[in-house]
Chain A
């Protein structure tokens, strides 16, 4: 089985969010970047587990500039076999998906795995877009992936609970919690990652469908109003008369 795992550079979860250039750009100064957690913990780790059990390879791909190389090296250190960086300055999901699909089109991956969303843009848009470009199914919010012969058997979260589904042939999935467990790269992996191939390929020139006009920070909370532990009825009164939520 050959897997393509799409990864994205994301600010560490604890990052203090600030903007620059008239609130039109995320201020990356001093920000620690990580592999988007859903891409790493769930999609990448499950692909590695399957390849370890059945053979094949895991190729990781990211769309971006040279600033993405550290996260590609990190994914190689965790165990991915090859890395590809599609050299572009991505503006939105449509552009990212079109570039990833254009790369995947010329290869023969059995499956393309993505995280369920990135923790910076939170659109959950790229996996379905890649699937449409390639005319293959997209199994969104997937919590397990196994194979029964050539058939992929997956569990996904739905509005009504969970579904077990089967797909024959290539597909795209977006990985949610349950697919795999976080792996910490060891020294051997980190050393090996230095010599693994990181190929930079030119972008196909796909256009973005949207643009960010302005970022804003949410208004500061007014501060917590504390209620005496012996008088919870006062809390009920406040929720009813002041907050008007019950």
Chain B
């Protein structure tokens, strides 16, 4: 069985979320990757089990990308298309599903096994096993959920691919990349240090930054903190912000409202530091420290630095 993997790149390399999707495709059958634009060598795709890469032109909008991926699936006779469930994946996968007449199973969280696929529903409060009604399927994989595939050590061949892409309809006026200070972007981060109103003011975030540096983590925050402007909006994790699933989520001075948990309950290990022993977040935590953040966090930073 052939699987098409829709790959996004940054600086010519497949993104982490896309490598996970490619590995997922390779575990289902013969994986053929589709990329738009520049690729550095094979973009790291051979190592995760991709044999061939079809390279389309650069700077396509969502509708053109859907045409590129669908045409590749039809040319290759692929029964399945896999993409990461990231920003662009959300804009393109649904379009590909409509073009191919394929059912879409979005945000799969587990490696393929048996008939059907597992995904989260009810904002992480339950899972569902979903089965396709159609011969073809489009599957998107939740970043950081299925894990990076073992390196197979291969190299993928790269061939140019073109099809009728139609006209570009979305004009990009400007793009801005907020500085993450060299840290991994939140959706891909494996380690996250997050803080809330318990920090009392934006001037106190130094201890959070220090801890994040010691852990090698990305910083995040709760909704009230981004709403009142203590921290930038792109750091807000939770139901209305970004949903993340790092290996380790350290929550400091966050009470753990249900809307916050909905964005972080996929984390593998949750550590809660809060001075209120009754904070609801402790019920969802694996480890906890009841104590004042201003006292505990610097000590914890030292302990990490001592590693």
Which A residues fall within an 8 A CB radius of B?
A: 11, 13-15, 17, 19, 26, 37-38, 92-94, 97-98, 116, 119-129, 131-133, 135-141, 153, 156-169, 171, 174, 176-178, 207-218, 221-222, 224-230, 232-233, 235-236, 238-240, 243, 245-246
Which B residues fall within an 8 A CB radius of A?
A: 8, 10, 15, 61-63, 66, 85-88, 90-95, 97-99, 101-107, 116, 120-134, 169-178, 185, 187, 191, 215, 233-234, 236, 239-241, 247-248, 258-259, 262, 265, 268-269, 271-272, 282-292, 295-296, 299-300, 302-304, 306-307
- With A129-B95, A229-B290 as given contacts, are A159 and B103 in contact (CB-CB < 8 Å)? no
B176 engages A128 (CB within 8 Å): no
A233 engages B306 (CB within 8 Å): yes
B176 engages A161 (CB within 8 Å): yes
Nearest B residue (CB) for A18: B126
CB<8 Å pairs between A and B, sample of 5: A122-B122, A157-B87, A214-B128, A224-B272, A240-B307
C-alpha gap A211/B287 in the complex (Å)? 37
C-alpha gap A189/B121 in the complex (Å)? 33
C-alpha gap A74/B123 in the complex (Å)? 23
Shortest beta-carbon distance from B271 to chain A in Å: 7
C-alpha gap A212/B307 in the complex (Å)? 46
Question: Which residue of the partner chain, among B10, B131, B173, contacts A211 with CB atoms under 8 Å?
Answer: B131
- With A92-B103, A141-B87, A158-B88 as given contacts, are A128 and B62 in contact (CB-CB < 8 Å)? yes
Question: Which residue of the partner chain, among A26, A132, A159, contacts B185 with CB atoms under 8 Å?
Answer: A159
C-alpha gap A56/B107 in the complex (Å)? 37
A159 engages B8 (CB within 8 Å): yes
**Inter-chain contacts of A243 with B (CB < 8 A):** 248, 268-269, 286-287
**Inter-chain contacts of B91 with A (CB < 8 A):** 128, 138-140
Question: Which residue of the partner chain, among B62, B241, B289, contacts A227 with CB atoms under 8 Å?
Answer: B289
A119 engages B133 (CB within 8 Å): no
C-alpha gap A114/B292 in the complex (Å)? 42
A94 engages B104 (CB within 8 Å): yes
C-alpha gap A125/B121 in the complex (Å)? 13
Shortest beta-carbon distance from B192 to chain A in Å: 11
B296 engages A125 (CB within 8 Å): no
Question: Which residue of the partner chain, among A15, A131, A167, contacts B171 with CB atoms under 8 Å?
Answer: A167
- With A137-B63, A164-B173, A209-B133 as given contacts, are A121 and B93 in contact (CB-CB < 8 Å)? no
Main SS at interface, chain A: mixed
C-alpha gap A158/B172 in the complex (Å)? 12
Nearest B residue (CB) for A153: B173
C-alpha gap A229/B63 in the complex (Å)? 54
- With A93-B106, A127-B94, A132-B98 as given contacts, are A246 and B191 in contact (CB-CB < 8 Å)? yes
B121 engages A97 (CB within 8 Å): no
17 extra A-B contacts, CB within 8 A, seeds A128-B90, A132-B95: A13-B258, A13-B262, A94-B97, A94-B104, A122-B121, A129-B94, A131-B62, A131-B95, A160-B10, A162-B178, A163-B172, A169-B169, A209-B102, A214-B128, A217-B125, A232-B303, A239-B271
C-alpha gap A94/B271 in the complex (Å)? 39
B272 engages A235 (CB within 8 Å): no
**Inter-chain contacts of B307 with A (CB < 8 A):** 236, 240, 246
- With A226-B290, A245-B247 as given contacts, are A212 and B104 in contact (CB-CB < 8 Å)? no
C-alpha gap A12/B305 in the complex (Å)? 43
C-alpha gap A160/B180 in the complex (Å)? 10
C-alpha gap A2/B284 in the complex (Å)? 45
Shortest beta-carbon distance from B93 to chain A in Å: 7
**Inter-chain contacts of B271 with A (CB < 8 A):** 235, 239
Question: Which residue of the partner chain, among B90, B171, B191, B299, contacts A140 with CB atoms under 8 Å?
Answer: B90
C-alpha gap A176/B180 in the complex (Å)? 21
Nearest B residue (CB) for A140: B91
**Inter-chain contacts of B233 with A (CB < 8 A):** 177-178
A221 engages B286 (CB within 8 Å): yes
**Inter-chain contacts of B187 with A (CB < 8 A):** 159
C-alpha gap A73/B11 in the complex (Å)? 49
C-alpha gap A157/B269 in the complex (Å)? 27
**Inter-chain contacts of B131 with A (CB < 8 A):** 210-213
C-alpha gap A219/B107 in the complex (Å)? 19
A17 engages B126 (CB within 8 Å): yes
**Inter-chain contacts of B241 with A (CB < 8 A):** 177
C-alpha gap A55/B240 in the complex (Å)? 29
A97 engages B94 (CB within 8 Å): yes
- With A128-B92, A160-B175, A178-B233 as given contacts, are A122 and B87 in contact (CB-CB < 8 Å)? no
**Inter-chain contacts of B282 with A (CB < 8 A):** 224
**Inter-chain contacts of B99 with A (CB < 8 A):** 132
**Inter-chain contacts of A177 with B (CB < 8 A):** 233, 236, 240-241
